[in-house]
Amino acid sequence: MKHYSIALIILLLSFVTFQCQNSSEKTDKEPLPTEVVATIEKRIEEGITPSIALVIIDSSGVRYFNFGKTTQNGKDIDEYTIYEIGSISKAFTALLLAQQVLDGDIKLEDKVNDFLPNDITIPVMGDAEITFGNLTDHTSGLPRMPGNFAPANPNNPYADYTVEQMYEAISKYQPVRTVGSEYEYSNLAQGLLGHLLAMNKNTTYEDLMVQTIADPLQMNDTRIEFTESMKENLALGHSDGKVVENWDLPTLAGAGAIRSSTSDMAKFISAQLGYVDTPLLAAMELTHKARHNKAGETSVAMAWHIKKGESGDVIWHNGGTGGYRTFAGFVKETGKGVVLLSNSSAGADDIGFHLLDPGSKLADLKFKSDAVEIPESTLAQYVGIYEVSPEFKITVTKEGNQLFGQATGQERFGIYPENDTTFFLTVVKAKIVFQLEDDTVESLILFQGGQEILGKKIE
């Protein structure tokens, strides 16, 4: 993810101003909209998440809103509570790339194969080679997850995935589309990007991120490896109300390994909006520029996604690891930014979008209390593995009278019956419908965000 003398003085002065804004907001805090408070309190009350840490940044300063505890019977959260930010890390990786581009170390048009070890080559379909630009905007043609991803511990799935395995995956992958032709969200591509950027500077991803971003912005609790203070302030991750393991991503760090707090993330978003004078501003602005419109109604920049809103473009990214869901976004036209961190596998993007774009509605979520009872024998027939693509599968398991789903490289989530074949999720607004033929389960369809995703039962 240098300048001294005058640049350092400017940075220090801006940090002092920013700290003053932080302290002044505590004495004169504009309240959250009542509907936002109500939905947050409902989600905590229903056990969807133990906590939500929220920060709003605008021209008047920074406002923190904290709900819930680090875990059941834990301590109250605050702006220094630590969460895994998951795929928001990709925005940091994009910024590292942008800075190396501006420094003349890399061009967005440079071929990735030229930066890999001599014995490693990524095959492509057609003549176009994968560039750094393709890696950062999800048009590389590389799949969402590597084909050889087989975690020893599904509760910490990336921990044992090695650089050698990543090289094997990219060199043996058989492309199904030409480079640049389509948008396909890829953790593999982003992890590879972070790896190459660190290798280009003869360092580790974490050290590069800290040196380039965290230290200059005084983000002292934004790290991959926990410091002692971060451990003390950690909100434990939860899935379906139970504490789960933290995730470690040593090889694919650029895709989602960073931990942070709302205090630190407020500095990151304030800098994106130009409220903090920083030498990183030019690189940040480069990451905001849309590179293509191949993701439906969403434009894609360097990692950031762009959604049209009533008051301007919402530039955003979300994140999720085993027990955390996060959102960060901002609207340059209004000068407003929002960061939301939660220690649960239940998403809360709708709150972030609603605060940034009045036309974006809060989700009408279902809760566990809305589930109906169906026989365990009916539940048992749905257990199995459902293939969406060769690299992406949804595994359905059963514990007692509870079904769980787990997608490749993602955390487990509970699914709750609406009737004998239709189940709902509480982590996001989504449904799963199991398809039967002659009383045999053939497939499932995941309905989410206007999409219908088919998974054929293979086991």
Domains of the chain in start order, with CATH, are: 6-356 (3.40.710.10), 368-457 (2.40.128.50)
User: What is the structure's pLDDT at 240?
Assistant: 83
CA distances from 458 to 154, 384, 406, 441, 455 (A): 20, 8, 15, 10, 9
Residues pairing with 64 in the sheet = 55
> What three-state secondary structure class fits 453?
strand
Tokens describing residue 68 = 């819930």
Q: Which residues fall within 8 angstroms of residue 320, CB to CB, at 6 or more apart?
A: 86, 87, 326, 345, 347, 410, 411
Measured distance CA(282)–CA(327) in Å, rounded: 23
Question: Is the pLDDT assigned to residue 132 strictly greater than 90?
Answer: yes
pLDDT of 6: 31
| Region 243-255 average pLDDT | 98
Residue-wise pLDDT for 76-115, tens only, equals 999 999 999 999 999 999 999 999 999 999 999 999 999 9
Q: Virtual CA dihedral for 434, 436, 442, 445, nearest 10 degrees?
A: -30
- How many percent of the chain have pLDDT more than 70? 94
The pairing of strands 422-425 and 412-417 is antiparallel
Q: For 5-9, 45-49, 180-184, which range has the lowest pLDDT when averaged over its residues?
A: 5-9
Distance CA 103, CA 99 (A): 6
**Lowest-confidence region among 107-111, 151-155, 328-332, 424-428:** 424-428
Distances (CA, A) of 455 to 67, 328, 425: 37, 30, 17
> DSSP for 213-271?
IITTTT-TT-BSSPPHHHHHTBPPPEETTEE-PPP--SSSHHHH--EE-HHHHHHHHHH
Q: What is the reported pTM?
A: 0.83
Confidence check: pLDDT of 408 > 90: no
Phi, psi (5° rounding) for residue 360? -95, 120
Q: Report how far residue 170's alpha carbon sits from residue 14's, in angstroms, rounded to the nearest whole number.
A: 43
What percent of the chain stands above pLDDT 90?
84
Neighbours of 225 (CB within 10 A): 10
Q: Which residue has the tokens 């044992």?
A: 160
